[in-house]
Structure formats: structure tokens, C-alpha cells
Amino acid sequence: MKKILIPLAAAALLMAGGACQKKDDMSNNPFLKAYETPYEIPPFDSIAYEHYLPALRAGIAQQQAEIDSIVANPAEPTFENTILALDNSGEVLNKVAYVFFALDESNSSDEMVAIAEEFYPLFQDATDRMTMNDALFSRIKAVYDKRDALDTDQRRLTEDYYKRFTRNGALLSAEDKEQLKALNAELSNLYLTFNKNLLNATNAFSITVTDSTRLAGLPASSVAQAAEAAAERGLPEGNWVFTLHAPSRLPLLQYASDRELRRQMYEGYTSLASSGEYNNLPVINKILQARAKKAKLLGFKDFGAYMTDNVMAKTTENAENLLMQIWRPAVERVHEEVAEMQALANAEGADFTIAPYDYYYYAEKVRQKKYDLDEAKVREYFALDSVRNGIFSMAEKLYGVKFTEMPDAPKYYDEVTVYDVTDAATGEHVAVFMTDYFPRASKRQGAWMSEFKGSSLNADSTWSRPVIYNVGNFSRPTADAPALLTLDEVETMFHEFGHGLHGMLSRARYKGQAGTNVDRDFVELPSQIHEHWALEPELLAKYARHYKTGEPIPAELVAKLQAASTHNMGFTTAELAGAALLDLQYGKLNPEGDIDVAEFEKNVAVQLGMPAELTFRYRSPYFKHIFGSDGYASGYYTYLWAEVLDTDGFELFKEKGIFDPETARKFKENVLEKGGSEDPMTLFVNFRGHEPSVDALLRHRGLKPSSPKAKLDSPSGK
């Protein structure tokens, strides 16, 4: 699943000074000085491990002094002297947090793990002390009570701060505030443990193949990557190593003829972090209990109610109702897909029933038979550099921006590429964009976007423009071929770039509303709508080139891709919707003791009527979206919620033309530039002309609506 980490994440390899252990000289701490770099890109080659904690403490002290100044102001509270002053506070804190949280995601190390154990609690404590500051909240409330006199974006920012403070304990008694602080500190440490276990468990698992006949069916690129992985581990020629990282795992499940090899990989993945040294099951139970206590303390019936109260959905029930409208048609399609696969397996003489570890393999066989489409051949037209040219071409045609590489710009890893983003017509600087696309042992799985610096309007009416980045875990180049992407990787690249555009093109006046600072169930609209361009013939003709010959992708192959676009959509939709429904059921729990997590998952699957050939997209011990932070907890549904928006929105592009200037202008001005400065439904309606319905999503996925049924009960997990 494509993911985004919000609001703070980035990636940093500490280069020359990274391992330095000498005592920090505060005068040389790069976080405590202005960045003397192009467009204020962090000076990565000057950042050492020893700089993080001193800069964090200095940043906390700076922001506390700024808050003290706001509170001590004798003037009547106004938007400018209270809300805007708070929104602009914490410059040093933000600088160090952006880089540190980045490194923790994409280039972890033993040193960073040690720092993290102190960094996260300090950061959480500073957040708690700010949001539980009675005098500060009193001023915020004074502005909030008179918010109707403010401009639209000012009113919304005021409302956002008021809600943020109340949701973080501003209205609690002193005793309850201390309890909330303790719960927040506990959760912060639990998330750290969950993520550390997941990374270690992922890296601990591998399959070594020594018999080349077991590699039958695998693309040459996958075999080459496995050989290189073996060589990196010091194994002699004739060994092939497969890991749980997606570029290794997914091709094996999709193409390997060896059923036992597929089973090994599938079971390795679905049992990830479920036992042994890196067991996340006890961590999950502690998280669930702490979340339930936190929700109750803040006046909510459960954690799901707490999380959905602050987004477009408003309630768990609304989110669940949407999902069930998608789940039931998806399951009906799954049964049809499995019947096709079983018939094909039987025709080949198989003497088994399709199992979950057969799904990818036989789905690919059915696709090849029905559409004469071999994805291994398709990948030859999707070299990573070609796809990157495609996303840049799309952005220039839609929004008038150009990307020029900055080879001498600071970067945190040698595989990172940095671009100066400019207005194609005027040459004006718009943003810095960085890409970091290949897996490594120190990088967490998945793909995401965030920033090293946000966008905002300065007091002198000049713009401070953002530094945005995309991180991925795409197929690596091999000794004799460039990185050739799967269709899923192509869509992921367009997806994360859509998030990037949301950050790069922001014109919201205030930092707290810029770019992706929007409701969680609106943030996926810009990312998911841009996935649609990836396989549009008009754009494919420009960027999809054979990596050897340079020839454009043939029209007949494009036609096959279009025809196969809804192939296996039952599986992909049910897998996603099932995980989202599992997440919502966790949000309904109020456990006082431990639950049996495996039994809980089983109960949810039974109530859903999940087909036996499926499992949840993420089993709980590696469901990082919901247990690695609060980010998507009771909010994994937002990918499908946003797809309702993006499919409806893209239908306007299809009607007017996928590069229609007026439609692109409306989307840019009403969605990409506005950030969180207005109500998200208002922004969508201003762009589209009406509120969305689930029908466009079902049409796009080739699914048929089904009649509604009773809502899902909340399983106990006992």
C-alpha cells in the first residue's frame, strides 16, 4: 500500500560526520544556525549523531520561550498575536524533527535507535506541555469565541488549534492531564518498539535457494536481484536470496512455479513479527489498552470515535458504511476470480484447491491467458528513469512546472536525486523535490512523502517555498538492466508524486494549513487522482519506452493494459477494504486486559465473510499504518474514502480531456494550492461541481453495486 507519513518524516544518511561521537559544540550545531544551502536544504554532510538531542532541547526551549511571550502579551488575544504567533513558533524544533524523523524511517542505525529512545519521549513531552498550557489555551479560546469575524482560512486555523488543544487535554483537570501525559509517553515508546521489531523482523527473514530449477517462472530481473542479494551476504555463486521487501517478495509470489517456495514466502510474510525476539503481539495489546484509556479520558466512547471525530468521516459508523458498500461487491468478484483460477489450475492438472499463496500466481496466469499480457514484458517499458520523466511531463502539462536536477545540492544518501522545481513560464522557484527510490536494510518498507521544510507566506508577503521528498522501495537496477518497475510500482510512483505536488504547489498562507496539512481522509485525494494518468494512452506514448531499444510502448500493448485494468480487482479491493474494516474494529475495543490478537482477526474475517483464499492486506503485527503511530489508526479506510473522491474527480478530466487546462487549473487552485485552508468537501465541490458518491469508485474498479446489509458487529476477540 502506498503510504504517506504525516506530518513529520524524511530521510537522512549521516555522511562524513555521521558517526562522530565527540561532545557537541553548540556553536557548530547545524540545526541552530540558518542553513546556508540552496533553498535551505538541510546541510546533511554537516549533521552528526551528536547534534540531534542538543538541538531538540534547544528547540524545545526556544518554542517554550515563544509560548511564554504569547501568554505574557498584555494585549487582547487576536488571531495575529496568538494563533499566528503559535503557528510560526518552533523553528529550531521543526528543523531537527524533520530531519530526525526522516532518518528514523529511511536510514536507521544502532546509533539512531539509541537516540530515538530519548528523542521521542522528549518531543512528546514538549507537545503535551504546549497543548496542556492553560494560559495559552485561554488565549486560543478567546480568539475561537470570536472566530466568525475572521477570514475563512484564519477561522479554520483557529478552529484547528482549538480542536487540537481540546483533543490533547486542554479541558482536563490537572490530575487528568498528568494521566494523559503518561499515556502519551507510553504510546510513544510502544510505537517505537513496534517499528523497531518490525524492521528487525523484516531483515531477519530470508529464503536461500540453491537449486536453480526452483527459480522457474521468475523474471530474469528477479533472479538477478536474488543473486546479487546472495553475493552481498557473502554466499558463493549458485545461491539466490529472497527477502520480505516488496521487490523481492511480490515477484516470487506472482511468478514462481515452485508452489512450496511461494508458500514459504507467504507464510514468512504473514507471520512477520508474530513470535520470538521481535514479537509485536504484546506490544499491540499494550497499545490497545493505552488508546482505550486515552479515549475515555478525553470523553470519547472508544479510540475509533476519538480518531474519526476530527476528519471528514466524523464517525466510525460513517467510515464503516462506506467500506461495506465496497466490500460486498469486491467479495462477489473474488468468488468469480477464484473460480477462474481454479479452472485454470485444474486444466493444468493441479490436484489442490487455490490457497492464499496461490492467488498472485494464478491471477497472473489468468491475466496472461485472458489478455495475452505478460507483466515481465510490460516492465521492459517502465524503466524507473522513464517513469520519472512521465511524472514530470504530467506535472508540466497540467500545472506548468519544470524539474531541473541539482547535482551539487546537499543530499542524505548517494542514491538521492534533487531537483529545482520552477514555474515553466516565469522561471520562478516553486520548490525543491528529492527522490529516494530503492530499498536498503535500514529503510522501512513502503513508500511515502514528506518535507524537510514547509511552505508559508512571510510577513513581507514573500513566499518561503518547501523542500519535499518522495521515498520508495522499488525494484533495483541489476548488473545488466536498469530498474524495471512493476505496474504496481509505477502507480505507487505516481501516487507519491501526487502527494509531492500537494506539498510543492501549496499557496496556503499559514504553515499549519500548507500542503498536506489537511484532514486525514482528504490527504489521499491528490495522490490517488494522479495514479490515473500512469496508464493513460496519451501520457504512456510520451514516457513508456523500451529500456533497450528506446521504442515507445506499442499501441496494441497499451490496449491490453487498458483491457486488463480491472483484472483481479476483487482481490485488490477486498484485501484493502478488509484491512480497513479490521482497523475500525480495533478502534471499537475498550480492552481492560489482553486479547487474543489472532482470534480477534479471525472473528473479524468470519463476520465479514472473508473468502478463504484471502487474508488481510496487513496482519496486525506488521500493520504499521495503525500500530506504528496514531497516523492511520481508525483511519486506514481513508485510502478508499479518498478513492471515492479521486475517481469522481478524474471522471471530469476524462470528460474534458486528461490535460484540459481549465480542469487542471480548477484542481490546482481548489485542491493543490489550498491545503487545509478551507473545508475539504467545500474544496472538492468547488473543483468538481457536486459531492461525490461511491458509484464512480465501483465503475473504476469494474465492480457491481450490491444491496446493503446489516452493519458489522464489534467482535470481542475473546
Q: Is 206 helix (H, G, I), strand (E, B) or coil?
A: strand
Which of 699, 650, 575 shows the shortest CA–CA distance to 1? 575
Q: Which residues are tagged catalytic?
A: 496
Given the C-alpha cell 487498458, which residue does it identify?
562
Give helix 52-72 / helix 110-131 axis angle, nearest 10°.
10
Grid-cell match 540453491, residue found: 210
| Amino acid code (one letter) for 339 | A
DSSP helix/strand/coil, 59? helix
Separation CA 512–CA 294 (nearest Å): 25
Rounded to whole angstroms, the Cα distance separating 515 from 429 reads: 16
User: Which residue reads 513560464 in cell numbers?
Assistant: 425
Q: Transcribe 59-87 into DSSP letters.
A: HHHHHHHHHHHHHH--SPP-IIIIIIHHH
Query: What 3-state class would DSSP assign to 41?
Result: coil
- Nearest partner of 280 among 591, 624, 715, judged by Cα: 624
- End-to-end CA gap in the chain: 30
SS3 531: helix
Produce one character per residue of 153-163: b if its CB has 16 or more CB atoms within 10 Å, e if not: bbbbbbebbbe
SS3 content of the chain, % helix, strand, coil (to 5): 60, 5, 35
Tell me which amino acid residue 717 is: G
Tell me the C-alpha distance between 92 and 33, whole Å.
9
Q: What is the DSSP letter of 357?
A: G
How far apart CA 244 and CA 268 sit, in angstroms, is 8
Pick the closest to residue 78 from 161, 162, 133, 146 (CA basis).
146
